[in-house]
């Protein structure tokens, strides 16, 4: 059908997609991240033709609803700790119990990041992230942020989630993108699955689809892409442009 993904019965197939670096190009300001407009009708068509099309992202579910709210597409935020359903964000109870700790972490980070140029604090509600993409000296900024995030993680009990020029703190619950992928696959009785992603947070989803006999697809964005992500993939796509072409070809093949 298309390279690597040829479900015998599309109605029993599931396709899971990351957002940043997969559907949306990485940008300097995380708040400006946006999916390529031409992709919305492609995703809508795929949602009609596949048993499941889902976006599984580290972004909050409400953010995904605003940026990738396409009819028929399920939206899982914060690595699957949230889902946007019928206009409402639903969080897993075990994650919601850490709300106060996340608030403490946000305050500690904000106080200690003051004065660090090019470093941005992103409030995700049930998680908090620190970006240093805009720092003049990324190496020095990254080391400083990592030390700070480790200290705050130890003080609050939150889990550290490193990514591309970003460190994140989130509830330390036994749930990640892989768990979300596996749960939806079981829920819908899917027979063929694939996951497309570009960062370390996607590795758990890669492992999950492989255990299910599915396809792990990595988005190669050059030097920023962690080597372990490329090594864990069955198929490589080149940048968000390559993802758009692959999705469009899949849509056309399923027509």
Q: Quote the tokens at residue 160.
A: 């550290």
The alpha carbon of residue 3 and the mean position of all alpha carbons in its chain are separated, in whole angstroms, by 22
Enter the tokens of residue 180.
């979300």
What is the bridge-based pairing of β-strands 13-17 and 215-220?
Answer: unpaired
Instruction: Verify whether residue 198 is a known catalytic residue.
Output: no
Q: How far apart are CA 73 and CA 56, in angstroms?
A: 10
Sheet strand arrangement including 13-17: 88-91, 82-85, 74-77, 52-56, 13-17, 192-197, 215-220, 235-238
Q: What are the beta bridge partners of residue 167?
A: 130, 162
- 């694939």: which residue's tokens? 194
Catalytic residue among 18, 45, 198, 199: 18
Active site (catalytic) residues: 18
């Amino acid at each position: 059908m298309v390279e690597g993904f040829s479900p015998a019965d599309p109605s029993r197939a599931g396709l899971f997609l990351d957002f940043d670096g997969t559907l949306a190009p990485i940008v300097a300001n995380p708040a400006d991240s946006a999916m390529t407009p031409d992709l919305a009708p492609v995703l809508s068509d795929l949602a009609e033709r596949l048993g499941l099309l889902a976006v599984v992202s580290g972004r909050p579910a409400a953010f995904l609803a605003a940026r990738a709210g396409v009819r028929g597409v399920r939206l899982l935020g914060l690595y699957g700790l949230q889902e946007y359903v019928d206009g409402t964000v639903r969080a897993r109870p075990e994650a919601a119990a850490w709300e106060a700790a996340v608030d403490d972490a946000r305050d500690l980070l904000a106080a200690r990041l003051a004065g660090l140029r090019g470093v941005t604090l992103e409030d995700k509600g049930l998680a908090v992230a620190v970006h240093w993409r805009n720092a003049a000296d990324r190496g020095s900024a990254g080391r400083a942020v990592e030390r700070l995030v480790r200290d705050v993680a130890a003080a609050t009990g939150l889990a550290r989630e490193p990514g591309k020029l970003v460190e994140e703190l989130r509830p330390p619950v036994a749930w990640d993108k892989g768990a979300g992928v596996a749960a939806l696959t079981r829920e819908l009785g899917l027979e063929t699955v694939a996951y497309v992603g570009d960062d370390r947070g996607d590795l758990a989803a890669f492992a999950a689809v492989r255990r299910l006999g599915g396809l792990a697809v990595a988005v190669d964005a050059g030097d920023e892409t962690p080597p372990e992500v490329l090594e864990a993939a069955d198929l490589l796509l080149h940048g968000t442009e390559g993802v758009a072409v692959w999705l469009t070809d899949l849509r056309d093949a399923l027509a």
